[in-house]
Structure 1
Amino acid sequence: MTTPPVVLSVAGTDSGGAAGTAADLTTFAALGVHGACVVTAVTAQHTLGVDAIHPVPLEVVSAQLSAVLDDLPVAAVKTGMLGSAEAVRLVAERCAGLPLVVDPVLVATSGAVLGGKAVRDAYLRSLLPVATVVTPNLTEAAALAGADAAGGRAQPAELAKRLAGHGCGVLLTGGPEWRPGDVADTCTDWLALPDGTVQRLQHSTLATTNDHGTGCTFSAAVAALLAHGHELESAAEMAAGFTTTQLARGSAWRLGRGRGPIAHVNELRSTR
């Protein structure tokens, strides 16, 4: 086997194994890249929500970054929960110049706030200008842009274009949270580029409540595919297909008392 590309996850942990570094590293492995990680926060988290967050001291985050970047040939970086404005600025400084996928984790699926105004401002001023692509959902895009996502007042295409004005590509992932009784066949993502172009990317979707960690999985897949040399549009389409496959794989699971995890397992293959 040839040496795989290296992708670095800079994110928080999820003790329930659905999101954060757990989602990133399993996704990297599934897509044929070697995953390294920098832990920014330790969370007490499960399918019902986030009970506690312990930020990792900035000097320890910095030391982890040095340990990876000084030793491994990192081909791409994916960020998740960064937790503080200082951590956002540190990552922007240390990872500028690398293919950089930013998942702007500001609000958990459960509604827990994972980043306030100072973090949002640091994203806009420091991280987005050096990012290759940012991958918000509609709520995160509205929070970053300072727009109202309620009542349909925030149009996804316009939000994506507005955020791309900060100098990065934007993959605004579509689809509202699914609930039993809803009908969902397709999902529309929006790809906006700094030159002002906006493209609709439509793909199949899956009706399931086992979707905790979906955003992390999608953005990690984009980073892995960029590391393999795919262009952004191709990486986005392939990442959407991979994420849908993993949603289907875990759709019948009964794990946890809340919104269950997206599948982070693959078919067992015989080693004989």
Structure 2
Amino acid sequence: MKQVATIAGFDSNGSAGLAADLHAFFADGVYGHGVLTAAVAENSKRITATQTMPVDFVKDQLNALTDFPIGAAKTGMLANRGIIEAVADAAQQVQGVPLVVDPVIVTKQGDRLVPDDAFEVFCRRLLPQADVLTPNFIEAATLVGETLATPEALLDAALYLQKMGAKNVVIKGKHPQTGEEPVISSLVLLADGESFWVNNPFIKAQKANGAGDSFSAIIAAELAKGRSVMEAIERANDFVVAAIRHPTGVGKQFGPLNHWAGQDWLRGDD
């Protein structure tokens, strides 16, 4: 069985972060290991408390992973400079293991989740080690320091992120505004220079927490299985669409996407 690792924060309601990654790994038929970087206490309405793990404890967890033949890894929430440096150091020591970097650095409202020194280290040390970088629209704009108002600007941003060192880039599209076509368009720029758009119908849903986490987790799982980057991205996209289309009954307000539905899609597509 292929083994994949996630280095991320834990959401106590199981809908996002490390919990969502492990759900996605299981759905895709790989064994998931986890390195805990932070934890949040969260119900279906709000986060009530947060806790960051000590850097030395993160290092101990990363060292423990060396006992296993990890086929791919992904990162999520890396709360401070010390944790980012520890993850970057570990990634340098395992050359050849695909790394998917999901840059959890900014909220959907544009507020920074990491301090300036951590952001600088992320850009300088971890981003260049990404085999696949998966920012959402706001994260991409933050990374390049530009407003991304047109498709051309998105492509320029992806090219800039490649110049920063990321091999393959997926910029996940923003939700359509009132009056716009109900489509989410994500841009993919591959290492060989090929670019294309992935268009999905916009599904307004409250049970979609962890969609971005699960997307990057499925990419990592598929890379561990030996699929190409393009195949991994396409399968991850279709997994998440299927998971959102069939909502769970978990959570009085917001809740997780349906990994079982995504699993059914993966099994049917193989």
- After TM superposition, the score normalised by the length of structure 1 is 0.86
In structure 2, what residue type is equivalent to 1:19? A
Paired residues, number? 259
Partner of 2:157: 159
Change (3 A) 1:154 1:89: farther
- Per-residue CA distance 1:103-130 (angstroms, 9 max, x = gap): 0001345776422322221121000111
Two-structure CA RMSD over aligned residues (Å): 2.6
Say if 1:267 and 1:78 are closer, same or farther in 2 by CA, change over 3 A. closer
For the residue of structure 1 that corresponds to 2:49, the secondary structure is: strand
Matches within 5 A, 1:180-199: 184=182, 186-194=183-191, 197-199=193-195
Equivalent residue, structure 2, for 1:90: 86
Partner residue, 2:214:
217
Per the alignment, residue 197 of structure 2 pairs with 201
1:40 and 2:37 aligned: yes
Say whether the 8 Å CA contact 2:134–2:171 is kept in structure 1: yes
Structure 2: runs of 5+ lacking an equivalent: 265-270
Counterparts in 2 of 1:69-218, with a 5 A limit? 69=66, 71-96=67-92, 97=95, 98-109=97-108, 113-149=112-148, 155-168=153-166, 169-176=168-175, 184=182, 186-194=183-191, 197-209=193-205, 210-218=207-215
Unaligned runs of 5+ in 1: none
Deviation at 1:266, TM superposition (A): 4.7
User: Could you list the runs of 4 or more consecutive aligned residues of structure 1 that deviate by over 6 angstroms after TM superposition?
Assistant: none
Deviation at 1:194, TM superposition (A): 4.9
How many angstroms apart in 1 are the aligned matches of 2:189 and 2:261?
32
Provide, for residues 211-265 of structure 1, a one-character-per-residue CA deviation record: whole Å limited to 9, x for no partner: 2211101000100010010111111111100010111121x746233x4321233
CA distance, structure 1, for counterparts of residue 181 and residue 48 of structure 2: 32
Q: How far off is 1:159 after superposition?
A: 1.1
Is the contact between residue 16 and residue 213 of structure 2 (CA under 8 Å) also seen in structure 1?
yes
Q: Relative to 1, partners in 2 of residues 1:189 and 1:153: Cα closer, same or farther, differing over 3 Å? A: closer
